[in-house]
A and B are shown apart, each in its own frame.
Chain A
């Protein structure tokens, strides 16, 4: 369909002096491709070496900036006008005066400065090298690149393995956790022999085995507001494989402040999400989720479960986008949020927009340094608020009191399929969702210990019962049946 492209003044000399040119196209990107095919000198002013629009080139279809619609895929119809509008940017750090060229910053001659590949590496990466989209230059870009992975768990496992296999030159790993048997159902970077080892040590062994040409840097630490920025500045790209909200907001804000792309993934039960948050080019995580959910509303994987293969799929998507950013590929998942449902096998995509009022990446940011993310997510507050009102008992104390013959009823608020895995003797199963309707089944004249897997849901059950006027004495079992298995009866399986 014929559409009209308005050529801005400075570019008319490359378009035979014309101010308007008609081309046949179905999308804005196609229209620009046709235009630059006809007038090839225009291309270098509109597109960078990676074949994406230069960031100071703004393209409008009629009056809508295509960054706010579908980018280059924005459809155009007959009679539409495409406007190319410059934004003008610049700044100091001067060029060499005599030549007018760059005084010596290395980026200018990037291909010459990219590391060379040994014959051994050429053989290893041959399936990459024979594709023009990667090729020798792309593989050398991968070798020159550095990626910091936050977490070496479910998402970090496939991510690290594919990034190492692909030949990313330097991989940083941040984790403080130890391999647990319950990790092995999905964290395929760790093996049975690694149970009890620090995750970063186990991950390092696996990654070095996959590709000895990759430099692995391990950071055995919890990511905090104090160390995040100093860690991030040493890497090109940050990949978020975390499982909790405070760290997710911390990774996001630190990426915005350090100017790094944040390759995001998250998983829960059968559902996953992925995107690339990159404040310079699109929205950040806060543009999508300005506020965290109230603590406890969204259960963690430890509470809610996760299909083992799900992080494999989402982590591999994160690896894919990371490699594309390094290669300078088009259509990076900026401005898009991928939603995946493994149980129904459906992929959906949402368009994202930068929020101009975003507190960290908007026009007038209010967050200019890292904050206390536990507090921001309401976690420390929640603890101080709920603790004084709720009575707790440890598994060891409960066992002693039962052995003493104290009259205690035990209510298990987990789900029936969890109850099947293991129980505390003489406990009554009333799943959390039914607890209010079945309140009359709990004898208010007796002392009641309520438990779940870890202690979170039972606290909610007690809170709900008390708010609904239950008058009996309710005690929360600290650490749930997991603590019971640890402290009292190891024959009860942990899950």
Chain B
């Protein structure tokens, strides 16, 4: 995720996190599934979009491997790894949202968030361990 954020700098990168939902509300991420940002060129610096058909393709890929889509990651070029108001407006519950802060082309921070079910805010999640990048 850090590498993807650096690669796509100064644009926002985005992708799926594939893994399993755990019984105690946690998630295990097994693979990442990079997606090419579907936003138009001018908006890519501070917006990302994953189209429904891409998500469906990612879900199909995950299900073939016995996995679920457990969340999404995206980068904030030259911004903190904290979700934006726009992220909040567009978030889905249950999923985890990882934000990578990329300062001047270097990934400097990575934090994970889940939206409160009343849509009022994001709560930060603890991250343990690391993951490997899947084929695009």
Contacts and interface: CB of A to CB of B under 8 A. Distances in A.
Contacts of B42: 368
B84 A93 contact: yes
Interface in A140-161: none
A107 B84 CA distance: 13
A9 B120 contact: no
A45 B50 contact: no
B46 A91 contact: yes
Contacts of A90: 14, 47-48, 72, 74, 83-84, 86-87, 90-91, 97
A338 interface: no
Contact of A9 (B69, B97, B124): B69
A290 interface: no
A86 B55 contact: yes
Interface string A90-103: 11111101011111
Contacts of A88: 14, 48-50, 55, 72, 90, 92
A55 B116 CA distance: 20
Nearest to B87: A90
B14 A95 contact: no
A69 to B, nearest CB: 15
Interface in B69-93: 69, 72, 74, 76-77, 79-80, 82-88, 90-93
Given A87-B52, A368-B42, A93 B121 contact: no
Interface size class of A (residues with CB under 8 A): 35 or more
Contact of A92 (B12, B49, B121): B12
Contacts of A95: 82-85, 87-88, 121-122
Given A13-B94, A56-B90, A93 B77 contact: no
B49 A89 contact: yes
A10 interface: yes
A105 interface: yes
A105 B89 CA distance: 13
A89 B48 contact: yes
B14 A97 contact: no
Given A91-B48, A92-B46, A94-B76, 17 more contacts: A9-B68, A45-B119, A58-B52, A65-B52, A89-B47, A89-B49, A89-B90, A90-B72, A90-B87, A90-B97, A91-B84, A93-B86, A94-B84, A95-B87, A99-B121, A100-B83, A363-B40
17 contacts: A10-B95, A11-B93, A13-B117, A85-B52, A87-B49, A88-B49, A88-B55, A89-B50, A90-B72, A90-B87, A91-B86, A91-B87, A93-B85, A95-B121, A99-B121, A102-B88, A107-B85
